Amino acid sequence: MEHPEAGYNLENSPHLRPAFDVDEALLTFSDDIYNGVYSDIPKGNFTDDDVTHLLQVFRTKVWQTYRMWEYYVVDVTATVSAFSAAIKGKYSLSGKYGSDPVHQADYYELLDKNALYNNKQYTRFNLKVDISVALDIFGAPSPLSAVETEDRINLFKSCLDRINVQNYAAYDRDTDTIIKNLFWRINRGPLTEGKLLADNYFTRVTGKDGKKIALANNGWIWAGNPLVNFAGPESRAYFLREVIIWGDCVKLRYGMTPEDSPWLWDHMTKYCEWSAKIFHGLRIDNAHSTPIHVAQHLLDASRRIRPDLYVMAELFTGSSELDEHFVASWGINALIREAMQANDSWDLGRYIHRYGGDPVGSVSRNRNGADSITVQSNSPLSVLVDCTHDNETPQQKSGFDVGSDAWQGMSSSVRS
């Protein structure tokens, strides 16, 4: 509330506006289901068939009202009006685009290639046409009659409609992706007061000045590239609902330098310095979503306080090469590995073999003689634990009922 610039809000990150609209649509739909607006949708304990049905209702009755296609297409009515006002009583043909085109396809290709631009405001009808370029393409070497002018205007409109066809197709594909991702993220449990159909992608707060603020929540992307900022303008992850969201914390917007977010850099630098004064070691949570240049700055500040600081990191990049890149870039002492990340007993054996170190009592022999040394590459040092911080326990992952007779019948030593 005091420093909204430290997060991704709709003013400093306008590219998130379409994603916010998606979030608003889901909030409205969730409230409507809870309030009984849709009598054919239960209020919870959804089966897969229930989810399929409610998403179909969402797509046809809620999604359409938000007119999300406007983020994709040219505003034909407004653009034709501007073009009409510019071409009437005038003529233009700069020669830049060749002689006066003959076929409609020629006009379309010239318009599509040369006159379209994105104004980077991330508003509806963000796709624009440079009218001056359009005049060069659709003008004539001599004054047009009223009929010829009208023909050119109609031709211009038909080309815009043709351009929008492919943009509507892109909108349909993205809508399919959003619906598919929502299917797996819909809360299956009963809707109660405050419990929504889907996790909020934005935290809504009121600033000190009374202004409403929406801040993008943090999260992670399955099999995502940790080197890509999924909240940045180059990513569409929030719009497509690809982020597995943490609804209790917002994503911090550091930018590339301290000048991009002065308070945040200063605040977090002091926090790390204080931590280094108190502790001999630090654990970095969710290290794979921390920008590398930010972590380098903060760890450098920490090590100026305590040069022998021991740094452990929860790092799940899905790639040993990326793991090594993070470790080398930051100077990480050890990575945390978790047995509960294993899919089955075979995978658990692989974890123990890879991260468990040499077994007690094991014997190794130098095969090259007493005076030689075998030099081998090593993976980053890892500390293997059974279960860490906020991840699911074995009981939660297995779905074992702690109240069952089988559980109660176990000996206390086994339960311990």
Active site residues: 285, 288, 390
Residues 6+ apart with CB under 8 A from 317: 226, 288, 323, 326
Phi-psi region of 210 (alpha: psi -120 to 50; beta: other; left: phi over 0): left
Please say whether the beta carbons of 1 and 208 come within 8 A.
yes
Mind giving me the DSSP string for 351-412? HHHHHS-SPTT-----TT-TT-------PPPEEEES--TTSPPHHHHHT--TTSHHHHHS-H
Mind giving me the DSSP string for 150-200? HHHHHHHHHHHHHHHHHHHHHHHHHHHHHHHHHHHHS--SPP-TT--SS--
Range 32-53 burial, b when 16+ CB lie within 10 A, else e: bbbeeebeebeebebeeebbeb
How far apart CA 101 and CA 139 sit, in angstroms, is 10
